[in-house]
Structures are given as structure tokens and as C-alpha cells.
Structure 1
């Protein structure tokens, strides 16, 4: 069968088909020899690829270009010289002004989530953003505060910091770290982790956080944020809850003292929530039809709330809590507490994962709209430098904000020059305007946070979509959401990752398999359970396997093969011996056909095979040959075929795999061998 002149011609012809829908289709007619894969490789001069680390490193180093590498590390050197000033500057200016008006209320509000003074939120919109302007690759993301990340940082701050008047300090906080010191140390640690990820090109690690997991996690975290703001919304004084079940305990505390709420704070909160909801749901869509610039309702709320508080003296007359002292000027640079890093490394790693995943998600969304590329690893470098710089100036870890990013793009922002414009406006707030907000009621900031998180809380409705698309995705969502909500944010993220990996592993073990039959007069082999017009070939079982074949999946592969084909070598061997014994006492000359003559393994969808998988196939080959059954392999990809050949070099067994390029080649070869034997 190795001589090309003796190979069976391969002819496909569908002239006999009379269906009206396919009469107009051209008839396919192909004639070529039947090939084994190795023979086809010789004809086509196949180039074998041997894994060689030294060659790969040599090629990588040979392509190194210092100038290009430096420009990639500092993207501003690429895009700023090509900036179209006349076309883009006005859009960037208006966008920067609009985003700055959002930074002020959001920064002040989200700083409270981190258990820090409100001015910290303005610092975060100034110092790190200037660094991201130089090193970032996204043109539109608005860096600064983000509710979930600020809340996670606040959890660590509350755990390791102590106020000046703390008397019963535990061993953990015996050094009396201030909240600012803990927060800046977290930011510095996050910067270190991001730099390590950049050096080792570990941006791909965030793929562990799937869309389903992030959706559930952010939704549950938003609930944590809402519950944390209940005390300010209702004007209550509550103990600070830490550790697991903090949300449940906080709700219990709120319910216990809700009757003691401050009536003035409750009325103010209700009024501002209603006004902002009406603006977002009614006025904003109407104005969007006439102008791209939205009403800065949060800034308006801050201004009105401050004016009312100052005019009515809410703190003295009604006991409403206000923001209090806001310093002017830029903060003095301070070094993080390096001795605290080992204690907060785990929390910082979780914050890094969440922050980077959310930032990249925002960056990719806006980049897709404007058709440009975002470098995931360069973003790690940009975030690392930004957080490192910010950690010396009282900043928490920065993250991209969805609302600010969408506004920055919608208003007409084209590049990160919009962020620089925003920074200059915020500089005036830091130097002169900040103290004007000292009388701002905290319940107004809490109202801003609650309304801003509406879309994140409504993500709960997406559970139905994920459940309908995939039960595994639905399970990941449910576990992540409820563990994050009931237990804690850290355990919720960990539980979500574990369930996600478990789902991948289990689904990887449940590979798609089927038996194939042939569509008459064609070379098309299809699933016999799904296609009713398919015929099984006499004496041949064609087993299709989709997935990987390795040490972890080899047992499942054998079980599926035996179940689908019905031929398990040990069982058939015992059955054959039993039949042979019966035939010795039988007067009939007929022999019972116990097994199929040939099993063909269709590996067109085999993604990977390791030496353990090859050894499993070799064991099957030997077992089938012992009961007079041939086993062929077909449809291997180049890397899979090369793995078979490498394993063959170390195998002393004379039984070699017969590998064909297509199922049809293997079928025709098997039929030719059968016909030869019958003669």
C-alpha cells in the first residue's frame, strides 16, 4: 500500500442528488492517492519543529531594538509628536473640564470608603494621573477613584490602622499606624506587584477573573459599599465591623439603632437621592439628545449641600455630620511603612487583580469603539509607576472609572491630554477651593455614592442571562456573589476563582465525543446521533474526540472510547476465549464475528497530547491488535503529530501508529486492507 501507483483513487461525486435546494451547487470531484500522514509530509516537504529554548531566545534577542523598546515603554513619545492640535485640542479641553467636575464629588465620596479624609480622593485624581499620562496606552480611561477598590483598601486600612485616641490597641496595631500610612503602604505594595507582573509579562493572569466572576464580584462589592454608607445616610453612630460577616453584622447594627437616626440627615439624604435619580433617569436622556455635555449633578449636589449646611448651620443646630477640615496645598511627600508590607501583601495582591482587571476592561471597551490597540503589559507598567508615585503623596491605588471614562470619550476627548486639563483644574481645588467644602454634610456624599452604584447593583439581573447561557457560569456567579456578600470580599473573590477553575477542569474532562458515519457518495463524516441521513460503515467504528489527551484525561478518554464503540479489549478478549472454547464442542463451521475490524480515532479536534496520552494510545493499540482489531489515527495537527513521532523514538515496541491526514484516507485504506484479506 506504500506505492502511489497502487493507491486507491479517491473520487467524490454527488451527481445523484436530486434535492431542489442543492441542484444548483457545483459537483465536487477530486482524485488523488490515499496518503498516510508521513507520506503526505514527504510529498509536501513538511518542516518538523523541534522545541529549542536557545533558538527562541536567540530570535528574541536578535529582534531587540533599543529605540523601539524605549518608545514602547514611554508611549507619549509616539503619540504626542503626531497630535493634531487644531482638530483635537478643544475636544480634550471640554472633556477634561467635564471629568474634573466629576472627580471632585466622586473623589471626596470614595475617599470615605477608604476610611480616609475626603481630600485624598482629589490627590488620587492628580498625582498618579500625571504619571499615567506619560506611560499609559489607553487614550480615554479616566484614572482615579473607584468604589470597589477604595472599599477594599478601606478594609485593610481599618484592620491595621488606629486613631490617635485608641486606648485598647491590639498587638496587630501596636505601632499605631495612621490610616494614611496604611493606605499609602497598600498603594506602594500594589505598585511592586504590578511591576513584577510587568517584568514577567503576567498580564494574562487576570484572565482568571472571567466576565461572569467580575460581574458578580462587583455587584456584591457594591452592596458592601451601600451598607457601609447607611450610617451616614441615616445619621447613625455605629461601631466599625471587621473580618468575615461584616456586612451581616453591620446590617444588624443598623437595624438595632435605626430608631435613633438623625431626622435631618434622613430628609437631606432622601431629597438628594430623589433629585439625582430623576436627573439620571429623566433629564439626562433628554439632554443627551441636544448636547454631549452632561449636567454635573454630583458637583451641583455638593455645592447645594455645602451652601445649605453653611446657611442653616446643620452641624450645630441639627447634629448632622459634616466633612470637616480640608487642608489646602499639596501634601508633603512621605515614605510608606515598609515593615507593614508583609502583613498586607495578600490584601494588596487581591486589590491588584481587581484594579487591573477593571482598568483593562474599561480600556478595551473604549479602544474597541475608536479602533486602536491597548497594550496589556504596558498598562501594568503605567499603573505601577502611577501607584508608586501616588504612594508618596497620600494616594490609594488608582483604577479606571466606567462613568468618567464614558463621559471623557462621549464629550469629545481624544487623548490623555484631557486628563492633564482635569489635573490643572483639580490643582486649583487643592490649592485654594478645598476648604469651601468643609461644611458639606456626609449624608450628601453618601447619597452620591448610592446613586452612582445603581448600575452595579442592577448587575444582579444578569444572573438570568449567565444561567441561560451556561449553568457553570451561573454557578460561578451565584457562588461569587453570595460568598462576597455574606462572608467577605476576599473570600468571595477566592471562592469565585476556585469555582471558575473547577468548572474549566470538569468541562475539560467532559470532552465532546461521538461516532461518525458517512454521508453517502461523499467524503463527509458526521455525528450519527445528530444527523439522521448518515450511514455507519460496516466493520469500522470512527470515534471523534474533541479536547486534550494528557495524564489527567487519559482515563476519561478510554472510558468514553469503550462506551461509544462498545469494544473494551479486556472484555472482548475474555469473550473471544469463551467463544473459542464453545466452538471446540460445536459442530457448526461458522465463526462468530465478535468485534469490529477497525477503529479509527478522529483527532481533528485534539488540541494537545502529552507523552502519557501517547502511551495510553499505544497500550490501546497493543490491546486491540491482540484481539485482531486494527486502530488507525487521523486528522492530527502538526504539533500533535510531532509529539507522536518524538515518542516513537523512545518506544521499542514494533507496533507503530498508522496516522492518516483525513478520516476518508483511513477509511479507504481500511477497506482496501479488508478487501485484500478477503481475497
Structure 2
């Protein structure tokens, strides 16, 4: 997945989280929506129910926001160099709020929603029922993609922030293995939590897996023993630190993003860049004749650079680009070639010797054989990442078309992938002598062999 896709998805997730918690922030009840435009529908219902806002819940939310902002931004961030460790304000707020809510009876006196019963202990291990697998396999696939994308997005955010690399494939294997274990204990699919990663782990300067291990131990202790103590914790306290967003539902959004990313790659190969190259001044550096000045193309030679892979979707575009950049009308050139062949067939050597005017006419016609005097076409493949069997056929077509009118075709600067494909498709068997390491090698060889002016 591209960085842009992950970044966009991360931003979208934030809006979804904010939307899902809006009813808790205002202390109102709104119906649950799913599918396309669920965010818009949810916010519409929130706006309709604003007059029913529980002001005690809203005031609690505002107070928590203010405290979080002051401590995290004005203290933890501004005095980061002076603090041995950031102030764990989230944990402090949760602890204090739980105590206040319990002894002040927030639920009874102000009708503030609280977490209430939290089951203690771990479920007994049991294998999932394969009989009902068909009922949830499609949803499981979508959830798996969303969970993996969510995890990778958080990992990449941390990787960019702390200057290290991640391996998405390794993350996928780890996520899959963890989900298998979770399923045995009736758990949800595992996924990275942006709130925990950014605000808790990174906020407390966690650097290794030991930090995660400590967190896991604390979570287990809470599940087994401390969970019931959070009975009186106001729900709004859990929501005030969440972020993020999107108009479409998460599964549709990630699917659309993946399709759009693949579409942009396809469109780029459908409109590739291609140039006619020449030498910069008296150097050996090749640059586009149209984009740089002064750039001079060698006499009698056209150097064409195609900057895209050549495969089934753009093979015809490649052929048309070569024809356009060489400036040769192949149809007219073939007609001239046919006329030359007929003239040479119908005229005997004696007629040529006895008729000087006829000889001059033939030579004049022959001089028009090439457009702009082009004798050599060099294909610079330095911008071609790969080529498939359809691309090889298109390349052979270029050779056939130009060779049929007496123009030599050469290829330079192929990478290993392109060379391997040429070898496996027997292209090298027919045209190996025309493939060179660099453009300069071709020009040097032709100059030494035939005195071509380059």
C-alpha cells in the first residue's frame, strides 16, 4: 500500500472514531447507522438531538479536553527536555474521574453514563465453530484488511517519526498469527491502536517490546482483578482523546482507496513519457532535445527514450511513440521501398550504364528513401522497468517495420529483468547483435564500422 493511501486512511479512521463517540460526548442517544454516508447520517442525528444534550456530560468532556491539552501540549511537549518522563495525564484523569464519579454518584445524580459491569477473567479456550463460518467469512475478510491497514498506518507513522523501517509482510504474518490465537479465546481480531500507540506508548517514551510487555501485563491484571473497579468510570472519559474521519464506511473506503491506487498506476503506464534524446554540448550526457538547450542529436540517428514498462496495456502506445519521435511515416516509406524494388527489378545493369539520367533519377529517389536522412533508431531502455510477452512482440514489430525500409534498430541500457525476458522469449536469438550496454557503445561501434557521423 502506498504512503498516500495509508495516510488518507489514517485520517479517515479519525473521523469515524470522533463520529462514533459524539453521542457520548453530548450525552445523547442516536440510532446506529452502517454503510455508505454513515458519518453524515450520524452527525445529522447528533445535530437533531443537540437540544437534549446532557450538560453534565458535556462539561466533563470540556474539562478533560482542557486538562489533556494543558498537560500534553503545554507541559509534556514544551518541557520535554527537562522531564525525565512525560506526565501520564490520561491514566491520572481516568483514576481521578473514576473515584469522583463513584463517590459523587454521577450516574444517579447527573444521569452520566458509566461503564458499569466489566467481566473479570479470560474466556475458556474453544475452537471456532466451522459450521457457521460461511455466515461471517466475507465480513472477516473485510475486517482483516481494515485491521491490517490500521496497524500498518500506525506503524508507519511511528517509523517516520523515529527514523526506522518496517516490513509490512512481517506485520501481516504477525497479525495473522495473533488473530488465530485470539480466535481460540473468543477474542476479536488484533489490530494496532492509534490512540494507544501515539498517546500512551509513544507518549511515555516506550522504545522496545518490553514497554508493550509491561502494558500487556497491566491489561491482564485489569481483566483478571481490577476491571470491576472501573464500574463507575464515565464513558466520556474514554472518548476525549480520540481523533479521525471519512464520509464512506471504513470497508468501502479502504476498498475504494486500493482500487484508486491501482487505477492511478495503470493510468500512468497508459500515458508514459517518451523523448528524443541528444547530447548536451560536447559531452556524453544524453538529454531530451525538446526540454533542454543546447542539445544536439547525432546526424542520421534518432535516439528514443521510453519511460514506462512495456506490457499488454501500453504496447501499442510504445510503437506509436517510437514512430512519432523518429518522424518517419512508415506507410509512405514502405510505398517508396516497394517502388524502389520495382525499379531495380525492371532495370537491367546495361540500362543503368547506358542511361546516365536514369541512374541519377534512381539515386535521387534512393536519397528520398529516409525521412530526414535517418539511418539508425536507438531505443534507450533505461526507463523501462520490465517488459512482458506482448511488449516483446511490439518490440519485434518495431524492428520489422524499420528494417523493412532499411533503417537499423538498436537497444541500449536494458536492466536485468528486461534482458532476462528478451532471452527467455528468444528475442536475443534474432537480435542479440543489436543490444548494447549504452547508447555511446552503439554510436562508437557504428562510427568505427561505417564512418557514420556522430
Instruction: Output the TM-score relative to the length of structure 1.
Output: 0.57
SS in 2 for 1:633: strand
**Correspondence 1:524-563 to 2 at 5 A:** 524-563=285-324
Q: Which residue of 1 aligns with 2:415?
A: 637
Q: Which residue of 2 aligns with 1:387?
A: 179
Q: Cα deviation per residue 1:354-399 (whole Å; 9 max; x = unaligned)? A: 4334434555676788898866555444333332332333432222
Q: Which residue of 1 aligns with 2:345?
A: none
SS in 1 for 2:293: coil
The structure 2 residue matched to 1:663, chosen from 439, 442, 449, is: 439
Alpha-carbon spacing, 1:637–1:375, altered in 2? closer, same or farther (3 Å): closer
Q: Please say if 1:489 is aligned against 2:250.
A: yes
Alpha-carbon spacing, 1:422–1:519, altered in 2? closer, same or farther (3 Å): closer
Residue correspondences, number: 433
Q: Which residue of 1 aligns with 2:95?
A: 303
The Cα of 1:236 is off from its aligned counterpart by 0.9
Alpha-carbon spacing, 1:397–1:404, altered in 2? closer, same or farther (3 Å): same
The Cα of 1:266 is off from its aligned counterpart by 1.8
Q: Which residue of 2 aligns with 1:151?
A: none
Q: Would the aligned equivalents of 2:18 and 2:242 in 1 still touch at CA under 8 Å?
A: no
Q: Would the aligned equivalents of 1:601 and 1:634 in 2 still touch at CA under 8 Å?
A: yes
Q: Which residue of 1 aligns with 2:222?
A: 429
Q: Would the aligned equivalents of 1:622 and 1:655 in 2 still touch at CA under 8 Å?
A: no
Q: Which residue of 2 aligns with 1:29?
A: none
Q: Please say if 1:243 is aligned against 2:35.
A: yes
**Correspondence 1:582-597 to 2 at 5 A:** 590-591=364-365, 592-593=367-368, 594-595=370-371, 596-597=374-375
Q: Which residue of 1 aligns with 2:262?
A: 501
Task: Give the distance between the partners of 1:622 and 1:639, measured in 2 at CA.
Answer: 23
The Cα of 1:503 is off from its aligned counterpart by 0.6
SS in 2 for 1:487: coil
The Cα of 1:561 is off from its aligned counterpart by 0.9
Task: Give the distance between the partners of 2:427 and 2:220, measured in 1 at CA.
Answer: 70
Task: Give the distance between the partners of 1:232 and 1:265, measured in 2 at CA.
Answer: 8
Task: Give the distance between the partners of 1:372 and 1:496, measured in 2 at CA.
Answer: 26
Q: Please say if 1:600 is aligned against 2:378.
A: yes
Q: Which residue of 1 aligns with 2:352?
A: none
Q: Please say if 1:621 is aligned against 2:414.
A: no
Q: Which residue of 1 aligns with 2:284?
A: 523
The structure 1 residue matched to 2:69, chosen from 237, 252, 277, is: 277
Q: Which residue of 2 aligns with 1:20?
A: none
The Cα of 1:568 is off from its aligned counterpart by 3.5
Task: Give the distance between the partners of 1:219 and 1:414, measured in 2 at CA.
Answer: 25
Q: Which residue of 2 aligns with 1:438?
A: 231
Q: Please say if 1:452 is aligned against 2:242.
A: yes
Alpha-carbon spacing, 1:259–1:283, altered in 2? closer, same or farther (3 Å): same
The Cα of 1:241 is off from its aligned counterpart by 1.6
Alpha-carbon spacing, 1:494–1:599, altered in 2? closer, same or farther (3 Å): same
Which structure has the higher relative contact order (CA within 8 Å, separation 6+)?
A: 1
Instruction: Output the TM-score relative to the length of structure 2.
Output: 0.83
Q: Would the aligned equivalents of 1:545 and 1:602 in 2 still touch at CA under 8 Å?
A: yes
SS in 2 for 1:516: strand
Task: Give the distance between the partners of 2:9 and 2:160, measured in 1 at CA.
Answer: 24
Q: Which residue of 1 aligns with 2:210?
A: 417
Task: Give the distance between the partners of 1:649 and 1:600, measured in 2 at CA.
Answer: 17
Q: Would the aligned equivalents of 1:309 and 1:315 in 2 still touch at CA under 8 Å?
A: yes
Task: Give the distance between the partners of 1:566 and 1:550, measured in 2 at CA.
Answer: 23
SS in 2 for 1:604: coil
Alpha-carbon spacing, 1:237–1:563, altered in 2? closer, same or farther (3 Å): same
SS in 2 for 1:290: coil
Task: Give the distance between the partners of 2:414 and 2:119, measured in 1 at CA.
Answer: 69
Q: Would the aligned equivalents of 1:244 and 1:488 in 2 still touch at CA under 8 Å?
A: yes
Alpha-carbon spacing, 1:600–1:364, altered in 2? closer, same or farther (3 Å): same
Q: Would the aligned equivalents of 1:601 and 1:633 in 2 still touch at CA under 8 Å?
A: yes
Task: Give the distance between the partners of 1:554 and 1:535, measured in 2 at CA.
Answer: 29
Task: Give the distance between the partners of 2:141 and 2:426, measured in 1 at CA.
Answer: 45
Q: Please say if 1:512 is aligned against 2:304.
A: no
Alpha-carbon spacing, 1:310–1:529, altered in 2? closer, same or farther (3 Å): same
The Cα of 1:322 is off from its aligned counterpart by 1.4
The Cα of 1:548 is off from its aligned counterpart by 1.9
Task: Give the distance between the partners of 2:123 and 2:171, measured in 1 at CA.
Answer: 26
Q: Would the aligned equivalents of 1:292 and 1:411 in 2 still touch at CA under 8 Å?
A: no
Aligned-residue Cα RMSD (Å) equals 3.4
Q: Would the aligned equivalents of 2:384 and 2:414 in 1 still touch at CA under 8 Å?
A: yes
The Cα of 1:667 is off from its aligned counterpart by 1.9
* Structure 1 residues not aligned, in runs of 5+: 1-208, 458-484
Q: Cα deviation per residue 1:124-146 (whole Å; 9 max; x = unaligned)? A: xxxxxxxxxxxxxxxxxxxxxxx
The Cα of 1:501 is off from its aligned counterpart by 0.3
SS in 1 for 2:294: coil
The Cα of 1:628 is off from its aligned counterpart by 2.1
